[in-house]
Structure 1
Amino acid sequence: MRIAVIGGGPGGLYFAQLWKRRHPDAQVDLFEQNPAGATWGFGVVFSEQALEFLRADDPDTVDAIAPHMQSWSNITLDLRGETTEIDGVGFSSIGRLELLKLLQQRVQAAGVAPRYDTAITSLEQLAGYDLIVAADGLNSLVRRAFEGDFGTSVSYSANKFAWYGTSKRFETLSQTFVETELGAFNAHHYRYAPDMSTFLVECDRATWQAYGFAERTVEESKAICERVFASTLDGHPLKSNKSVWRNFPWVWNEHWWFKNMVLLGDALHSAHFSIGSGTRLAIEDAIALVKALEAERELSAALARYQVARKPVVQKLVAAARASAAWYEKFPEHMKLGLMDFAMSYITRSGRIDEARLRAMSPAFMARYEGSRDVRSGAEP
């Protein structure tokens, strides 16, 4: 089978190396429009559960990536200068560029020679391939060419966000919520290297307009965010990498394949950054696609199998991501709560965690929360 993979992000690289490794005689050509060392954003996160799922299918890749990751076992919330920790919520992170380099090495070791600086501008360039794997991201050429056939829908979250990095080291995945005279801000921040952290700034549209960000340059916006989060950054500057304000795009496709073309990763679906599952979903899509192709002789049957097996899993995660994003769209209202009630609202926002699960998962946090609830209700200690 001759396979063309469009897109050299985590999903495309992962599929290419996995298929070639398991089928050495296959022809796999990977096309990426950017140079090998180019990427936007800073770090990506994986939950402990996501890494365990990946390890079950591909322990070698996890073993290659794990030594380059930063890990922690709790979340820190800062609400107007008051902090609390939620224990038992494990995550690991890695620089996006570092992850790409590791996957690029595995692709080359498997025998695939990626074609960087090669833009696919027309599907006619891929004539003759048996299978086209569209891992070309939110602006997928394949998806846009056949939106009606894929059943594509695109919408946008109301909040604005800008993705920065900083040399400030954060010990855990942290959330800082700040109230200013012109509106409220939230920052998602976590280290992805010993001396670097992701620092994603978010605000609602009213705050974004009050600060005039639409007319600000990237440098002017960055300077404002540095002032808003001065105490959090502790003198460290923000670093920009295409750090423009944007609205989160919700991409969904009812049909995951058409003819000999199949979608995966952000080309297929998007999940809000607040649950940190975008890279995980792309890699798991690639694994599911490989399994489906190996299970069926006919290509159409294999692509149908991929959709049937994988779609329900993704729908659950996307539903959780939408619930999480909806909470963030109202975070200025949630900030009116006391610290412990705010923390409970935050950790249960996606609907996947309730108080019973928290007692098992985060006993220290629940002891503090229930103690504060008793105080508020006037219960006897």
Structure 2
Amino acid sequence: MARVAVLGGGPGGLYFAYLWKTRHPEDFVQVIEQNPEGATFGFGVVFSSRAMDFLRADDPETADVIAARMQTWSDMVLVHRGETVTIDGVGFSAIGRLELILLMTERARAAGVVLSFGTTLQSLDAVSDFDLIVAADGVNSLVRRSFEGDFQTSVSYLDEKFAWFGTTKRFEALTQTFVETELGTFNAHHYRYSPSMSTFIVECDRASWLKAGFDHLAPDDVKSRCEEIFADALDGHALVANKSNWRNFPWIWSARWSHRNMVLLGDALHTAHYSIGSGTRLALEDVLALVKSLEAHPGQIREALEHYQAVRQPVVEKLVRAARDSAAWYADFPRHMRLSPIEFAYSYITRSGRIDDERLRAMSPGFMQRYDAFRSRTAA
């Protein structure tokens, strides 16, 4: 019998624990999470329309259970200069982060995983008797920070600021609202994740953040000012805060994915900018790749962990490159806002370099018909 410690009770950690215990019921699997059960920050998490395909291919039961709780839509919307531009065919699904974690917790517990919530580890000595340590403990990973040199980790931060709120305003699609005010330029990513709640992420460049006084306002005043800035989008609804502090997005990358019997996954290993909506997806995909590698090398931990990195890293690198290109566009969105709404939408949807005109015509024929008509008029 092997002993497996999973540090971190987020979606990635819980999913690994569930999957491994289900497939290897003789093994002892324990999840150690510092927060109490049922506690989490944030609101909804979003997946692209195809993001669940990977899960359905390997674990259709879990995919179906999650999909049944999701809100889905087929288009996305951009609001610029008060004008709405719809980009058809860009489907997404969303689920409440807490609902996803509770669902994963339920399944892990039913599989026989030992769940230790409200447990803070001061050092890794507490798990020294485990055969495998899976670090799914997020951007502040104890495992990674304890051996950053061995994991060859690099950390840097974007200069832009963001804060993650919720709201009772129901949005029918994933919407990006861009506004220019006397305080600066601001963007909100908002989408529903339940019939009655939506995520509402506010972001801005540092100059606007300072000009708006966000560097010294109290949390309630920050919420109120964001409500004023996005009053039209919120349509009388309030923002809901839950650890909705201003943050700088951290770029985390580890050139070595494992050390001794310890292995990283999800945000503990790498981060991808929230603008491509792939953080949770990447963590779940990491889990599937790790489980397959361990099963392909039974009893050979080092070989399995090296195989995990060799197979998975090229896929992750591609997504992270796209995330960096997307983040670069957002860093410069005040300049992009000089474009007309339709040009702005085209700049937005092609920002990561993964979508060219041919693919866009196939994916979003309605939008491209409008864009091509605009180009014909302006060229005449």
TM > 0.5: yes
Give the TM-score category using the shorter length: over 0.9
Q: Map residues 191-206 of structure 1 onto 2, 5 A cutoff.
A: 191-206=192-207
After superposition, give the CA deviation of every residue in 1:267-317 in whole Å (9 maximum; x if it has no partner).
000000000000000111011000000001311000000000000000000
**In structure 2, what is the Cα distance between the partners aligned to 1:286 and 1:228?**
40
Is 2:353 the counterpart of 1:360?
no
- AA paired with 1:216? L
Q: Secondary structure at the match of 1:114?
A: strand
Q: Are 2:81 and 2:341, in contact at CA under 8 Å, matched by a contact in 1?
A: no
Tell me what 1:337 maps to: 339
Q: Map residues 1-381 of structure 1 onto 2, 5 A cutoff.
A: 1-297=2-298, 298-378=300-380
Q: CA deviation at 1:214?
A: 1.0
TM-score (norm 2): 0.99
Q: CA deviation at 1:49?
A: 1.3
**In structure 1, what is the Cα distance between the partners aligned to 2:128 and 2:193?**
40
**In structure 2, what is the Cα distance between the partners aligned to 1:176 and 1:80?**
9
Alignment length, in residue pairs? Answer: 378
- AA paired with 2:231? A
Q: CA deviation at 1:113?
A: 2.3
Identity %, equivalent residues: 64
**In structure 2, what is the Cα distance between the partners aligned to 1:48 and 1:77?**
18
Q: CA deviation at 1:158?
A: 1.2
Q: Secondary structure at the match of 2:339?
A: coil
**In structure 1, what is the Cα distance between the partners aligned to 2:120 and 2:222?**
31
Q: Are 2:272 and 2:323, in contact at CA under 8 Å, matched by a contact in 1?
A: yes
- AA paired with 1:158? D
**In structure 2, what is the Cα distance between the partners aligned to 1:222 and 1:136?**
28
- AA paired with 2:362? A
Q: Are 2:293 and 2:308, in contact at CA under 8 Å, matched by a contact in 1?
A: yes
After the TM superposition, list the runs of 4 or more consecutive aligned residues in structure 1 that deviate by more than 2 angstroms. none
- AA paired with 1:161? F
What stretches of structure 2 of length at least 5 have no aligned partner?
none
Q: CA deviation at 1:37?
A: 0.8
TM-score (norm 1): 0.98
After superposition, give the CA deviation of every residue in 1:130-179 in whole Å (9 maximum; x if it has no partner).
10000000000000000000000000111100100000000000000000
**In structure 2, what is the Cα distance between the partners aligned to 1:84 and 1:22?**
47
**In structure 1, what is the Cα distance between the partners aligned to 2:141 and 2:218?**
28
Q: CA deviation at 1:199?
A: 0.3
After superposition, give the CA deviation of every residue in 1:65-119 in whole Å (9 maximum; x if it has no partner).
1121100011100002011100001110000000001101110111112111111
Q: Secondary structure at the match of 1:137?
A: coil
**In structure 2, what is the Cα distance between the partners aligned to 1:313 and 1:328?**
23
- AA paired with 1:41? G
- AA paired with 2:82? G
**In structure 2, what is the Cα distance between the partners aligned to 1:171 and 1:203?**
24
**In structure 2, what is the Cα distance between the partners aligned to 1:165 and 1:30?**
28
- AA paired with 1:56? A
**In structure 2, what is the Cα distance between the partners aligned to 1:127 and 1:257?**
16
- AA paired with 1:178? V
- AA paired with 1:262? V
Q: CA deviation at 1:351?
A: 0.6
**In structure 2, what is the Cα distance between the partners aligned to 1:353 and 1:216?**
40
**In structure 1, what is the Cα distance between the partners aligned to 2:15 and 2:347?**
36
Q: Secondary structure at the match of 1:4?
A: strand
